[in-house]
Structure 1
Amino acid sequence: MGAFDTLRIASSSLGVHQTWLDALANNIANVNTVKRTSEDAFQAQMPIVRSSAGGGVEIAGFAQSDAEGRVVSDPNSPLADADGNVRAPEDDLATQMTQLVMAQRGFQASVQVTKDAQDTYRSALEIGRR
């Protein structure tokens, strides 16, 4: 592994975690979005991650939750059908918040790796100057 591979790998991880956090923010914002039962439910997105050719990770695409969602009773909704039902997303807030904690921890770990690598390289440069 070259001198700057650690920084490159950590940087790719930061990018993936940022994309994951962005997707989760959108999912959380829409967790209570309801639609008519004749329409597809909001589909939460989850990034699909793969290792990149040069080391590190990259986004390979996005998986989406089921468009079927859940049919829930909400007779007061203006979108309710004749039976008082609406279509809600498949995912719930608890699931999205759990994913959010994992994405935040991964992002924080990548930041720490980047800081540690920078400190190591800075120390090596100081040794070379002496």
Structure 2
Amino acid sequence: MGAFDMLSIANTSLGAHQTWLDALSDNIANVNTVTSTSQSAYQAKFAVFTPDANGGVDVAGFAQSSAEGIEVSSPDSPLADADGMVREPDIDMSSQMSQLIMAQRGYQSSVQVTKSAQDTYDSALSIGAK
């Protein structure tokens, strides 16, 4: 594998991890979004990845959680139905935070691979310059 291949693969990884981070940030930002029981709950986004032909990764799309969410009692809410219930998204905050850490570490690893490839190029260029 050449240094150009490393850069190409690291680039797809950076894009994939950024997409994952974006989806997670949307989910975390909407964890407390409340709707009436007659409306759909916020649907959490989950990035779906596939391998590409060059050894990298592509974003195939997004899966979403159920629109049913969770009905919770909140009689003081202006969105509450006659029984005092509202709909919240079915988002597990601890899972989202764990995934956030994994996505951050993956992004950091991809950045390090990019830096290593750049150092390899710089070394090769300096050999020819002397």
Kindly state the Cα deviation for residue 128 of structure 1 after the two structures are TM-superposed.
2.3
Distance 1:3 1:33 in 2: 46
The CA deviation string for residues 4-63 of structure 1, in whole angstroms up to 9 with x for no partner, is 010000000000111111111111110000111111110010110011123210100101
Output the CA distance in 1 between the equivalents of 2:55 and 2:95.
30
TM-score (norm 2): 0.94
- Report the Cα distance in structure 1 between the residues aligned to 2:102 and 2:66, rounded to whole angstroms: 22
Paired residue for 2:61? 61
Q: Secondary structure at the match of 1:4?
A: helix
What secondary structure, in the 3-state scheme, does the structure 2 residue paired with 1:28 have?
A: helix
Gaps of 5+ in 2: none
TM-superposition CA deviations, 1:68-111 (whole Å, max 9, x none): 11111111111111111111111132221111111111100100
Amino acid at match of 1:78: P
State the distance in 2 between where 1:99 and 1:78 align. 33
CA displacement at 1:2 relative to structure 2: 3.5
Q: What's the CA shift for 1:117?
A: 1.0
Please show how residues 116-127 of structure 1 align to structure 2 within 5 Å: 116-127=116-127
TM-align CA RMSD: 1.1
1:77-88 pair list within 5 angstroms: 77-88=77-88
The CA distance in 2 between the partners of 1:115 and 1:127, in whole Å, is 19
What is the correspondence of 1:41-60 to structure 2 with a 5 Å cutoff? 41-60=41-60
Letter in 1 for 2:92: D
Q: Which runs of 4+ in 1 moved over 6 A?
A: none
Conservation of the 8 A alpha-carbon contact between 2:3 and 2:117:
no
**With structure 1 as the length reference, what TM-score do the two structures score?**
0.94
Q: Bigger CA drift: 86-95 or 25-34?
A: 86-95
Residue 129 of structure 1: aligned partner: 129
Corresponding residue number in structure 1 for 2:107: 107
Query: What are structure 1's unaligned runs of at least 5 residues?
Result: none
